[in-house]
Amino acid sequence: MSFTDPIADMLTKIRNAGRACHESVDIPASNVKKEITKVLKNEGYIKDFKYLKLDSKGTLRVFLKYTKTRDSVIAGIKRISKPGLRIYVTKDNIPKVLGGLGMAILSTPKGIMTDRASRENNVGGEVLCYVW
């Protein structure tokens, strides 16, 4: 089965699993998805993730994080740049999500990083998604 936008599929699986209060969700692996999950883990939006070699491609198992009242730490996650409409920003126009309460994940020449890290490194790039 071929996906037009595998990153959007990954974000949708994480969103749906969080709303259903699942402990973990399995996602077909790729290098970009691994980097996005690393950013989510470093910023505290997920507990952990593991790369599993279940088939020829591999699978990412993402362990979701919840508050004491069983609300997902990820209140919202939205795909911004899509295959039909890529959104690029310069280092001076990096967006702030919810006035700085959320984060944007960017694909830059220096790798996939948060909006804050890309401002520190003075690089722009493609805005992959917003997380809050």
Domain with residue 103: its CATH number is: 3.30.1490.10
C-alpha triplet 90, 93, 94: angle, nearest 5°: 90
Both 97 and 125 in one domain: the answer is yes
Both 60 and 11 in one domain: the answer is yes
Question: Residue 71: inside a domain, yes or no?
Answer: no
Tokens representing 121 are: 């490194």
| Per-residue tens of pLDDT for the chain, all 132 residues | 446 899 999 999 999 999 999 999 999 999 999 999 999 999 999 999 999 997 788 999 999 999 999 999 999 999 999 999 999 999 999 999 999 899 999 999 999 999 999 999 999 999 999 999
Is the distance from CB of 60 to CB of 29 less than 8 angstroms? yes
Report CA dihedral (118, 119, 121, 126) to the nearest 10 degrees.
30
